A = this chain, B = another copy of it.
Amino acid sequence: MISKLKNDRLLRALWREPVDATPIWIMRQAGRYLPEYRELRQRAGSFLALCQTPELACEATLQPLRRFELDAAILFSDILTVPDAMGLGLEIVEKHGPRFETPVRSRADIEKLAVPDPGSELRYVLDAIRLIRADLDGAVPLIGFAGSPWTIATYMVEGGPSKDYALIKGMLYADPASLHRLLAIVAEAVTVYLNAQIAAGVQVVQIFDTWGGILSPPAYGEFSLDYMQRIIAGLETDAGGTKVPVILFSKGCAPLAEQIADAGAAAVGVDWTADIGEVRRRIGNKAAVQGNLDPAVLYAPAEIIRREAASVLEAYGPHRGHVFNLGHGIQPGVDPDKVAVLVDAVHELSRSYHAS
Contact of A215 among B166, B273, B311 (CB under 8 A): B273
A147 to chain B, nearest CB (A): 19
Given the known A-B contacts A304-B174, A308-B173, are A296 and B166 also in contact in the complex, defined by CB atoms under 8 Å? yes
Of all chain B residues, the one with the shortest Cβ separation from A297 is: B173
Binary contact readout A165-181 vs B (1 if CB under 8 angstroms, 0 otherwise): 11001101110000000
A174 lies within 8 A of B299 (CB): yes
- Chain A contact-residue range equals 35 or more
User: Can you list 10 residue pairs at the A/B interface with Cβ under 8 Å?
Assistant: A166-B296, A166-B333, A170-B296, A172-B296, A173-B308, A214-B273, A216-B272, A216-B273, A216-B294, A219-B294
Contact check, B252 vs A299: say whether CB atoms are below 8 A apart. Answer: no
Q: Report B-chain residues with C-beta under 8 Å of the C-beta of A255.
A: 254-255, 274
A164–B299 alpha-carbon span in the complex (Å): 12
Q: Is A300 an interface residue when CB atoms closer than 8 A count as contact?
A: yes
CA distance A311 to B299 in the complex (A): 43
**In the assembled complex, how far is the CB of residue A225 from the closest CB belonging to chain B, in whole angstroms?**
14
Output the nearest chain B residue to A327 by Cβ-Cβ distance.
Answer: B216
A219–chain B nearest beta-carbon distance, Å:
7
> Chain A contact residues: over half helix, strand or loop, or mixed?
helix
Instruction: Verify B301–A174 contact, CB threshold 8 A.
Output: yes
Are B304 and A173 in contact, with the CB atoms below 8 A?
A: yes
A218–B307 alpha-carbon span in the complex (Å): 13
Interfacial chain B residues near A172, Cβ < 8 Å: 296
Which 3 A/B pairs are nearest by Cβ-Cβ distance? A169-B296, A173-B300, A170-B299
Per-residue B-contact encoding for A313-344, CB less than 8 Å = 1, 0 else: 00000000000000100010100000000000
| Complex: A229 Cα to B327 Cα, angstroms | 28
Asked if A275 is at the interface of the complex by the 8 Å CB criterion, the answer is: yes
**Cβ of A213 < 8 Å from any Cβ of B?**
yes
> A164-B331, A169-B294 known; 7 other A-B pairs, CB under 8 Å?
A164-B296, A166-B296, A173-B304, A174-B304, A216-B327, A217-B275, A218-B311
Question: Which residues in chain A, 62-99, are within 8 Å of chain B measured between CB atoms?
Answer: none
Determine the distance from Cα of A296 to Cα of B294 in the docked complex, in whole angstroms: 29
Nearest residue, chain B, Cβ from A275: B217
Given the interface pairs A272-B216, A273-B214, A294-B219, the reply to whether A300 lies near B170 with Cβ below 8 Å is: yes
How far does the alpha carbon of A255 sit from the alpha carbon of B272 in the complex, in Å? 13
Minimum Cβ distance to chain B for residue A97 (Å): 10
Contact of A169 (CB < 8 Å), options: B173, B275, B299, B301: B299
On chain B, the residues within 8 Å of A174 by CB distance are 299-301, 304
B274:A331 contact, CB within 8 angstroms: no
Tell me the minimal C-beta distance from A195 to chain B in angstroms. 32
The 8 A CB mask of A273-284 against B (1 = contact, 0 = none) is 111000000000
Residues of B within 8 A of A218 (CB): 311
With CB as the reference atom, state the residue of chain B lying closest to A255: B255
- Per-residue CB contact flags for chain A residues 337-354 toward chain B (1 = under 8 Å, else 0) read 000000000000000000
Q: Mark A148-186, 1 if CB is under 8 A from B, else 0.
A: 000000000000000011100110111000000000000
* Residues of B contacting A299 in the complex (Cβ-Cβ under 8 angstroms): 166, 169-170, 173-174
